[in-house]
Amino acid sequence: MTDLPPGTVAMIAAEELDGALVRSLTADFERRGTVLRVEATEFPTASSTVKAVRWCLELSNSDDTFGTQLVSSLLDDAAEQLPVSAVTSTVLSAAQRPRGPLMLIMDVDSTLIDQEVIDLLAEFAGTAEDVSNVTERAMRGELDFTQSLHARVQTLAGLKDTVLHETYRALTATAGAHELIRSWLGRQWPVYAVSGGFQQILKPLAADLDLTDFDANTLEITNGRLTGRTVGQVVDPQIKRQRLLEWGKRSGINVQNVVAVGDGANDADMVRTAGVGIAFCAKPALIDHADLVIRHRSLELVAYALGLDARHD
């Protein structure tokens, strides 16, 4: 999206809500001929390793359009000048938000969790540099997702399978993940995770988080060691989209009521297909395909951006 239509909302997530911030933003927009309606919502926060978001401030324009770049620029300036952690998100207006039961589907690495599992495994294997080189080749377009996956996994050959447990213990759920999932499950709405990572890691994570279902690649293990290969179908961008459609049909939820959250280019098909596609702390390659952009690392904001109470039990 380049412009937000009338009635669309820009959201600020902040530790503190400073009156100077509100006045500054309002004045900047009014100078451009746009009258804003300002609404502030305070909500409780869980303790986490990142700074807590306590306030959501919504600015909605009246009858003129304003570009997301303008919003980002104004808020970035405000964040530098004021003692608050202000970040931007684009938020659906009340009229644009889906009604009825919603399905949530999330990417895992760097979305549902803070880490990239392949990087952690590579550190154990002493092949972090090799994996980094493969990543660079993929970013240059020299390798597609499947080729990149196979090249990275190959560097893990010979690693003892006990490293999988150690890797799982090193993972941290993204701030707000538990609250977001509880919000969905408390309404008896389904929550899924689909990953280009690995079943051996996602299975215990899914159990800990009470996910409805999940899918990921499977590392091949022989005689207690990783072979450097995967078995079965590769979970690539197309499979992520396919799982979204399959799980939506299974849950009886129309694709327009599916909320998909991801951070990378391999989530683009899934994000484009969903009724609400969210780029979460995302790479530029995904942002252009998303309906919502969240730049603060708290998954609770997914619920607030949809007008939901993330603390629903």
Q: Which two tokens stand for residue 66?
A: 């304003």
> DSSP code of 35?
P
Asked whether the beta carbons of 153 and 145 are under 8 A apart, the reply is no
Asked whether the beta carbons of 1 and 96 are under 8 A apart, the reply is no
Q: Which helix (H) or strand (E) holds 253?
A: none
Asked whether the beta carbons of 264 and 282 are under 8 A apart, the reply is yes
CA 303 to chain centroid, in Å, comes to 12
- Dihedral angle, C-alpha 55, 277, 247, 203, nearest 10 °: -60
The Cα 262–Cα 295 span in angstroms is 12
> DSSP code of 127?
-
Q: Which two tokens stand for residue 117?
A: 């599992």
Q: How far apart are the first and last CA of the chain?
A: 33
Cα Rg of the chain, angstroms: 20
> DSSP code of 265?
G
The Cα 175–Cα 184 span in angstroms is 16
The Cα 257–Cα 300 span in angstroms is 18
Please list the active-site residues: 107, 109
Ranges assigned E (strand) in the chain: 3-4, 9-14, 36-42, 55-61, 66-67, 87-91, 103-106, 191-198, 213-222, 225-231, 258-262, 276-280, 292-294
The Cα 114–Cα 10 span in angstroms is 25
Q: Which residues lie closer than 8 Å to 214 by C-beta, 6 or more apart?
A: 192, 193, 194, 195, 202, 203, 206
